A = this chain, B = another copy of it.
Amino acid sequence: MSMESPSAVNPASESSSESSESIVASKKQLKKEALKAEKLRRKNEEAAASSAASAKLAEVDPLSENYGDVSLKDLHSKAVTGRKWTKICSLDAELANRTVLIRGRAQTIRAVGKKISFLVVRRLSATVQCVLTVKEGLVSAQMLRFCNSLTRESIVDVVGVVTTPTEPIKGTTQQVEVQVRKLYCISRAVPNLPINIEDAARSEEDIKEAEMAGDKLVRVNQDTRLNNRVLDLRTPANQAIFHLKCSVIDIFRNCLRSEDFVEIHTPKLLAGASEGGASVFKFDYMGQPACLAQSPQLHKQMAICSDFERVFVIGEVFRAENSSTHRHLCEFIGLDVEMEINEHYFEVLDIVDRLFVTIFDYLNEKCKKLLDAINKQFPFKPLKYLQKTLLLTFEEGIKMLKDAGVEIDPFGDLNTESERTLGRLVLEKYETEFYILHRYPSTVRPFYTMPCYDNPLYSNSFDVFIRGEEIISGAQRVHEPDLLTARAEACGVDVSTISAYINSFRYGTCPHGGFGVGLERVVMLFCGLSNIRQTSLFPRDPQRLVP
């Protein structure tokens, strides 16, 4: 085996490394190798075009059936052959000497002399080194040329024998090699990709270290990433982000279902704005003026009026806000909850507490691999949170800020900077980066917010913060139609556009409350990411409507 794959060459070493010590020890060396590899890659790609033509000579090869581009027609569901595919992530020493069939992307192609080529094949975040060694009756020179003609990111099918090299393989996730016997290209990528996956997967730290050593590595900026999102999303960190996002929804749903919540869907097409204000997308609905829901607020409350008792909504929320910040999107996923209250909005806070502690615990315990993949490119410290979530009143928050010398209006809203500062103060004092701030001034909350029992200047409302940024807004609601109408009018809402909503409270309504979570913010802040666009698959902001 080691003859076929001389470990001294270690051709896959450019892309990753195993233990953190070895990373530190060999980082400079790796950078140099990476640069060398990059040059080699470009040379290979230039060669690829001409090889592609010469690969056609393969027709005279007696082994010509064992490799080549699969014709499109043969991919139109020609037959069910019953062949078994092996997943790259499950390739291990137990399969040694077995012949396997794998499908994946040609991540790197590297010829070493005229007799050996190394092809790293990737599938999701797993990679394996496939080796072609010219040998009569097994691998022809033409087959090697065909392999060298492959473009990076092309889809290939490989049939080969699993072998276990004597020394560990540094550049791939799987610790076996595949000695290639057959190699087919299913779908060829264009030779010049707009972004290379290694470039997109590189951490800022690595780029800066290389710079300090006088080397320049490619830094892919955010617009280039988002313009070529289909390539950008293939990096291990991005794959992990969206698998993690899915896990958050899993736990959110399971947790609420186990507490007798029912999932509902509220209409996104509305006759009137759900949250008032100007930040609403308007359109023509069969001749009627209509707008896109800025939240499921009105209808989730109407579901409570309809006796659903405890509901949640997972769905898109649309905001026509022209604010290009790191934490605003024009379309994002709202995780919305609404529930009857027996006597106090603390019942809602209890749900927030249980729900999020469960989510955080789960992510830390069950999603380690995903967190590691994110951490590798975007290093972050684990979120500090308490098993019983800290609850502070707005007044207490204001006091902490004032004590720290921040000038602040005790009945105004907190701006982004104050929220950040308060987050830092709370972390210092209570050792948590996740907390609830409640009893906000009534004037800074929406019209449907219930005033406090003892002081109508305050309201039964709350925001929840991760690392000093708001992820949740919630409150007890006004469930009495006359008070609700008065509050709406006082807040300048056109009551005629929401009469169906207000009338819903005329048929007997339980006191109730709820909250809305910005899913992308939760993922961004849990992982300490710097931009919300990183947690939206195909983000929409004031400048971006594609891809």
Question: What is A's interface to B at a CB cutoff of 8 Å?
Answer: 72-81, 83, 85, 103, 105-106, 123-124, 151, 153-155, 186-190, 193, 229-231, 233-234, 239, 242-243, 246, 249-250, 253, 257, 262-271, 281-286, 288, 290, 292, 299, 302-303, 305-309, 314-316, 318, 320, 322, 330-331, 333, 341-346, 450-453, 460, 476, 479-480, 483, 500-501, 503-511, 536-538, 540, 542-543, 545-547
Q: Which residues of B contact A123 (CB under 8 A)?
A: 309
Q: How far is the CA of A451 from the CA of B75 in the complex (A)?
A: 10
Tell me whether A186 and B511 are in contact (CB under 8 A).
Answer: yes
Q: Which residues of B contact A306 (CB under 8 A)?
A: 229-231, 233-234
Tell me whether A266 and B189 are in contact (CB under 8 A).
Answer: no
With A155-B508, A508-B187 known as contacts, the answer to whether A450 contacts B547 (CB < 8 A) is no
Distance in Å: Cβ of A281 to nearest Cβ of chain B: 6
Tell me whether A545 and B80 are in contact (CB under 8 A).
Answer: no
6 more A-B residue pairs beyond the given contacts A268-B268, A283-B283, with a C-beta to C-beta distance below 8 A: A73-B453, A151-B508, A193-B507, A266-B537, A268-B331, A303-B537
Q: Which residues of B contact A257 (CB under 8 A)?
A: 250
Tell me whether A510 and B299 are in contact (CB under 8 A).
Answer: no
With A80-B343, A249-B263, A343-B79 known as contacts, the answer to whether A330 contacts B540 (CB < 8 A) is no
Q: Which residues of B contact A451 (CB under 8 A)?
A: 76
Tell me whether A509 and B187 are in contact (CB under 8 A).
Answer: yes
Distance in Å: Cβ of A451 to nearest Cβ of chain B: 6
Task: Give the residue of B155, B187, B266, B480 whose beta carbon is less than 8 angstroms from that of A72.
Answer: B480
Q: How far is the CA of A284 from the CA of B545 in the complex (A)?
A: 11
Task: Give the residue of B233, B269, B546 whose beta carbon is less than 8 angstroms from that of A307.
Answer: B233
Tell me whether B105 and A302 are in contact (CB under 8 A).
Answer: no
Q: How far is the CA of A407 from the CA of B284 in the complex (A)?
A: 41
Tell me whether B186 and A286 are in contact (CB under 8 A).
Answer: no
Q: Which residues of B contact A286 (CB under 8 A)?
A: 320, 322, 330, 542-543
Q: Which residue of B lies closest to A264 (CB)?
A: B537
Tell me whether B316 and A77 are in contact (CB under 8 A).
Answer: no
Tell me whether B264 and A246 are in contact (CB under 8 A).
Answer: yes
Distance in Å: Cβ of A330 to nearest Cβ of chain B: 7
Distance in Å: Cβ of A315 to nearest Cβ of chain B: 6
Q: Which residues of B contact A154 (CB under 8 A)?
A: 508
Q: How far is the CA of A155 from the CA of B284 in the complex (A)?
A: 39
Distance in Å: Cβ of A21 to nearest Cβ of chain B: 30
Residue among A299, A450, A540, A542 with most chain B CB within 10 A: A540
Tell me whether B299 and A537 are in contact (CB under 8 A).
Answer: yes
Q: How far is the CA of A271 from the CA of B346 in the complex (A)?
A: 43
Q: Which residues of B contact A545 (CB under 8 A)?
A: 269-271, 285, 288, 290
Distance in Å: Cβ of A229 to nearest Cβ of chain B: 7
Q: Which residues of B contact A342 (CB under 8 A)?
A: 83, 85, 103
A-B pairs with beta carbons under 8 Å apart, 8 shown: A77-B453, A250-B253, A267-B331, A268-B268, A281-B284, A299-B537, A303-B537, A500-B546
